Amino acid sequence: MGESEMIAVWGNLHRLYSAMRRSLDERLQAEAGCSLFDHDLLTRLDCASDRRMRMLELANRMEVTRGGLTRIIDRLVERGWVRRDRPESNRREVYALITDGGARTLDQARAVYLRVLDRTLGGQLSEDELAEFGNSTNKLLMVLGGDR
């Protein structure tokens, strides 16, 4: 494949990702009072076993540093959406754990999130196109070590 096509595809990917992120973030802020980042973090906790996750693990998943996550969780605790749990068994570990308030916010956010995704992804491509699109991203992720 020619250079210019590759560059164009990467450029599209960049614009698509940014535009979708902006769209999701704007609607979430306006209608659910939380950022896309907040939504993603709360979703991680909500889906984790026991609805909680160790700080380092969560930092890796959210692609921020350990120190950065400490402050992020501080802010979410202030907002009442998350609390910290230090298990008796090993008092070095700290778990972040979603509260009932956090779960309520997430419910709100989830509806907005799904609506935006439906408008941007679902509405624009046919079933087949979207399946094919998904396949391509999967293949591309293979070589990149898309684990994380």
Q: In the structure encoding, which two tokens stand for residue 105, read together?
A: 């916010």
Q: Where are the beta strands (DSSP E) in the chain?
A: 52-54, 82-85, 95-98
CA 93, chain centre distance (Å):
23
Q: If binding is defined by CB under 7 A, does position 68 make contact with DNA?
A: yes
8 contact, one of a copy of itself, DNA, none, CB 5-8 Å limit per kind:
a copy of itself
CA neighbours within 13 Å on the CB side: how many for 147? 1
Compute CA distances 71 → 14, 52, 89, whole Å: 29, 17, 25
Helix, strand and coil content of the chain, in percent to the nearest 5, comes to: 70, 5, 20
Taking the complex as a whole, how short is the minimal distance between the CB of residue 91 and DNA, in angstroms?
Answer: 3
Applying CB under 7 A, which of residues 1, 30, 92, 144 lies at the interface with DNA?
Answer: 92
Q: If binding is defined by CB under 7 A, does position 85 make contact with DNA?
A: no
Taking the complex as a whole, how short is the minimal distance between the CB of residue 13 and DNA, in angstroms?
Answer: 20
Per-residue binding string, DNA, 10-49, x by CB under 7 A, is ---------------------------x------------
Q: By C-beta, is 78 or 127 nearer to DNA? A: 78
**Residue ranges that bind DNA, judged by CB under 7 A:** 37, 54-56, 64-75, 84, 89-94
